[in-house]
Structure 1
Amino acid sequence: MSGTEATGTLPSLVEDYLQHMSVERGLAPNTLEAYRRDLRRYTGFLAARGIHGATAITRHDVSAFAQAIVSGEDGLSPLSPRSAARTVVAVRGVHRFWTLEGITEGDPARDVHPPATGRRLPKAIPVSEVVRILETVDTTTPSGQRDRALLEFLYSTGARISEAVGLDVDDVSVDGSAEGPSVVRLTGKGSKQRLVPVGSYAARAVDAYLVRGRPALAAKGTGGAALFLNMRGGRLSRQSAWSILRTASERAGVVREVSPHTLRHSFATHLLEGGADVRVVQELLGHASVTTTQVYTLVTADTLREVYAAAHPRAHA
């Protein structure tokens, strides 16, 4: 390690870490930007305490920062437990990097842990409500054909909304009349790609949209290769996709709030309730760890207990 690197300013040392996470770890741009914001708050907190070098940071400083981002004592808005946990993870990561690179001799953040976030179970909706939402869409117009294709696709694949609106036509292989499975290539977090089957209902809806709806929308603008187009012929935005689902939910008479992520949760929960292996669902969702997916098994376990309690003759004394 050169003298310049060892004595660099905290912002420059943070940028070295972010560069490492981008190149070596393939961190997604959105995640990278979130880490940059978190670490900018950290270096600002340290600067206010008169600390401008990595070697001067103590465990007490790191702990004080972890408390300050929850209470707002650093003069900025307090963070939720979940956001505070992400920020502490970023701080632990940069200190571990500095230690491994020889910039610091010890790791003052090693024993500082994120605040407990509490387990927030995914919210799924019943299959009957999903079907009502899907079937309420009027498919007599190009935009209606797009809306039905989008909603069927989200529930059929469990795709994140960003993955769906980021699709190009060449990413999908669908044939509504074919016997074989249709597939889509989704690009998830960290630019990792995965192939996911597309169910027959969604395949037919996407096929119909590609044949009739999309050409009409494409004629109005320069959407290029985008699969889902807006009314001006450009690529559909996440906000517009959310609005499409909200409108369909209201028309279907679904009183609870439904977001694109609700369909993703429902996709996973309904698969597990149908007997799918959790590791298969992990692959379909694009989760890096099966631990992330296992939260859905808690939902299905609750459902099983309810069914057991209502149906078994000796469930209650």
Structure 2
Amino acid sequence: MAWEIYIQEYENYLRLERSLSANSVDAYVRDAEKLHQFLEMTKRDVPPTKVALIELQDFIEYINELGFSAFTQARMISGLKSFFRFLLYTNEIEADPSLLLEAPKLGRKLPDTLSIEEIDSILGAIDHSTPEGMRNRAMLETLYSSGLRVSELIGLKKANVLWEVGFLRVLGKGSKERLVPIGREAMKFIRMYEEEVRVHLDIKLGHEGFLFLNRRGAQLSRQMVFIVIKDLVAKAGIQKKISPHTFRHSFATHLIEGGADLRAVQEMLGHESITTTEIYTHLDRDYLRQIIQDFHPRS
């Protein structure tokens, strides 16, 4: 029996026998679908009835490497346990492979995830009447819209904003280049920044190509981006330890929890997991653009 049939029966069970809310049913079903996607990505032709603990542990390691918070990992583990309890309940399996499944011990504390409302609060704390405020709005919209690393953000070149197709050409770790979709809001504020602020700067020699500049016309530093975010978080009254990576982490979390495909998010993050390096696939630009439009809160 195919994964799709098992998952459909599981959905019916949650909806009819357990009488869960539509949101809860969708969340549980997405967890089972994400496991299926992962097994396909890693070339494991395993039906739900043959999944072993090692496959589940590899999946949790994968979402950990994507940067998911411990809370999100725990929620997904709960969803997977529910799925396999259903298979046990319906006598499809004799033993539950998720019984001993635990969240991985994280070597470092992952940053807090920002909710959509908190991101709106941070953006709302920006003073748009100043040149720096206009730049900061464009910068943070870009950070959240495309899930960039801070090094990728400050290294972004004007020429790498591909206006006609709605993509950024990003130079990531190991000088690896990738194309990442960018939302309409971010593009709007980049355009405003370029036309109303950047054009009036006295740009330093050798810094002409960089998109985001400081008031002296030089490339922004990593430290400056951290300071900008720290100040805005304080103004918004948010009691969390927030860094530029928090926006990247929130980008991925909001897409995945909204139903986006794991492969597409991995492609946009420019992340190569140890379990997926060999099967890392490039998706066409139309598909990536559709993922952003369908699942990103600020598309």
TM-score by length of 2: 0.54
**Number of the residue aligned with 2:185:** 201
1:245 aligns with 2:234: no
| AA partner of residue 222 (structure 2) | R
Structure 1 segment 69-148 matched on structure 2, within 5 A: 118=107, 120-121=109-110, 123-148=112-137
1:118 Cα deviation after fit: 4.3
Structure 1 unaligned blocks of 5 or more: 1-115, 175-179, 294-317
1:200 Cα deviation after fit: 0.8
1:119 Cα deviation after fit: 7.4
Distance in 2, matches of 1:292 and 1:139, equals 42
Equivalent residues of 1:126, 1:266 under 8 A apart: yes
1:160 aligns with 2:149: yes
**Number of the residue aligned with 1:151:** 140
Distance in 2, matches of 1:129 and 1:292, equals 32
| AA partner of residue 260 (structure 2) | A
1:266 aligns with 2:258: no
Question: Residues 179-214 of structure 1: CA distance to partner in whole angstroms, max 9, x if unpaired?
Answer: x75110111111111101110111111111011111
Structure 2 unaligned blocks of 5 or more: 1-104, 278-299
Distance 1:118 1:172, change over 3 A: same
Question: Residues 195-251 of structure 1: CA distance to partner in whole angstroms, max 9, x if unpaired?
Answer: 0111011111111101111112x3264432111001111001110011111111111
Distance in 1, matches of 2:161 and 2:198, equals 14
Equivalent residues of 2:203, 2:217 under 8 A apart: yes
Aligned Cα root-mean-square deviation (Å): 2.2
Distance in 1, matches of 2:199 and 2:156, equals 16
TM-score by length of 1: 0.51
Structure 1 segment 220-235 matched on structure 2, within 5 A: 221-222=204-205, 223-235=207-219
Equivalent residues of 2:168, 2:182 under 8 A apart: yes
1:151 Cα deviation after fit: 0.5
| AA partner of residue 262 (structure 2) | V
Distance in 1, matches of 2:107 and 2:152, equals 27
1:171 aligns with 2:154: no
Percent identity over paired residues: 47
Of structures 1 and 2, the one scoring higher in RCO (CA 8 A, sep 6+) is: 2
Equivalent residues of 2:143, 2:153 under 8 A apart: yes
Distance in 1, matches of 2:264 and 2:154, equals 24
Distance in 2, matches of 1:230 and 1:145, equals 12
- Partner SS, residue 194 of structure 1: strand
Distance 1:292 1:270, change over 3 A: farther
Mark the structure with the bigger radius of gyration: 1
**Number of the residue aligned with 1:236:** 220
Distance in 2, matches of 1:292 and 1:234, equals 38
Equivalent residues of 2:150, 2:245 under 8 A apart: yes
Q: How many residues align?
A: 172
